[in-house]
Amino acid sequence: MAQALAPSLQTSGNGPHLSRIVAGMWRMNEWNMTAQQRLAFIEECLALGVSSFDHADIYGSYGVEQLFGEALALKPELRQRIQLVSKCGIKLLSERRPAHSIQHYDTSPAHILASVENSLRALQTDHLDLLLIHRPDPLMDYDEVARTFERLRQDGKVRHFGVSNFSRHQFEMLHRRIALATNQIEFSPLHVAPLFDETLDGLHDKGIAPMVWSPLGGGRLFSASDAQSERLRLVIKDIADQLQRPFASIVFAWIMQHPSRPIPLTGSGRIEAVQVAVEATQFSLSRAQWFEILRAARGHEVA
């Protein structure tokens, strides 16, 4: 049977169309792929309907965007078929950034503009489809960031903007100044706080789809031996057996079933892992099954 394609989803009324599953590039430098193999992976993702690729300037100690750009340069016409997401605002200690003396946040206009120029150069593209502020910065001037975003839009270098790891209040402070397309957050059966701290409620209220990083708990759902992880693993496996679906597909489906329409990221260089995520777009859990996973996640009944 032919593999179904992942659908696309507009993150908000004026946001970008992203594929329903986004390929996360965080660990690409660990995949030990040649440029040709990286290109093949991009094309395999596209064949599954996964057209959006998530980056950050700091990934791979400032090296992943260049690896992706080298692959894209082998077939530049693919740029018209993909959406490139990147983030900025963290300064890492790295051999590639010898001027950095302490790891810290920087959301100053100068740093945002310089980060975008570096990302465009590394990715070998003339624009980003979506730029996110990577983490909330205690020294962030929301008015300055909004003006910087508007400048980047006017210059044609970034088409849409968002944030990552922001609270509901922080998101809404910036959203009042410039329209944001998404908040990329951690959410999984091992991290259910966004269900109860108004993060997902706030985005749902505004019709904005969150992006979700670490949907499988960074792999802990498969391997961790603590009581919560083992309890979850048994419940998810039982539902997977009932539905005759892969274990990870159940988790991705659980995440996407929230009415805010979360868009999960994969984190693997194995195309089989991307296929399993895409499969989750083809079915839904029953309400009882969804709450079985939530109960296992929290360790108690809802009431």
Catalytic residue chosen out of the listed positions 59, 62, 105, 142: 59
59 is catalytic: yes
Assess contact for 106 and 141: CB atoms under 8 A. Answer: no
Cβ-based neighbours of 279, under 8 Å, separated by 6 or more: 4, 245, 246, 249
d(CA 83, CA 185): 19
Residues labelled catalytic: 59
